């Protein structure tokens, strides 16, 4: 684990409120229905906690551990060009909720926090929520303006589509 400081405050704010967005940041909240049932929930949770969903997206993942855990450093590489260093802030593995959040470190094109959370509601429906608050940190993210935010939303929607495919055939409904 590195000792590089996070590039924003308040670190960990998403743990208790996925919709939290500090002043000056842009919110992101995309929820995708994956299907129903315990088997699907377990598969989706493992795919998120073990980086499989991210790798299936086609992004590079270089992590200091095989699974998400607090303190694990992760560098996400986009298009083989953009390196985005992060650190896992919190994880959760509960009977109906599993996932993690990371915060940005120096060198990330954005500044903020992002969450990937699987939850199973009372009726058995399984959801992926991708939530974040962020603002540009690098010149090219700033220059992209609204297009950069559009790409973030498209990435979050693609996470849901990819995870749904990884869980194909497991839904109970």
Quick one: the chain helix, strand, coil %, rounded to 5? 25, 40, 35
Give the pLDDT mean for 65-73. 96
Count other Cβ atoms within 10 Å, centred on residue 127.
Answer: 17
| CA dist., res. 100 & res. 165, Å (int) | 20
Q: What is the DSSP letter of 4?
A: P
pLDDT digits (tens, 9 = 90+) for 137-159: 988 888 887 888 888 888 999 99
Average pLDDT over residues 1-17: 87
Domains in the chain: boundaries: 20-166
Give the full edge-to-edge strand order of the sheet including 26-36: 26-36, 125-136, 110-120, 97-104, 82-94, 73-78, 60-63
In CATH terms, the fold of domain 20-166 is: Alpha-D-Glucose-1,6-Bisphosphate; Chain A, domain 4 (3.30.530)
């Amino acid at each position: 684990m590195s000792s590089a400081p996070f590039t924003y405050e308040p670190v960990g704010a998403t743990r208790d409120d996925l919709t939290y967005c500090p002043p000056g940041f842009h919110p992101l909240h995309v929820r995708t229905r994956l299907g129903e049932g315990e088997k699907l929930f377990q598969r989706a949770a493992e795919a998120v906690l073990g980086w499989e969903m991210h790798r299936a997206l086609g992004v590079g993942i270089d992590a200091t551990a095989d699974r998400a855990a607090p303190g694990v450093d992760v560098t996400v590489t986009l298009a083989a060009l953009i390196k985005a260093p992060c650190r896992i802030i919190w994880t959760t593995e509960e009977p109906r909720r599993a996932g993690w959040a990371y915060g940005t470190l120096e060198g990330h094109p954005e500044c903020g926090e992002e969450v990937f959370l699987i939850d199973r509601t009372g009726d058995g429906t399984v959801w992926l929520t991708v939530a974040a608050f962020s603002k540009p940190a690098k010149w090219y993210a700033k220059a992209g303006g609204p297009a950069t935010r559009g790409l973030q939303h498209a990435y979050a929607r693609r996470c849901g589509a990819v995870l749904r495919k990884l869980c194909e055939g497991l839904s109970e409904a």
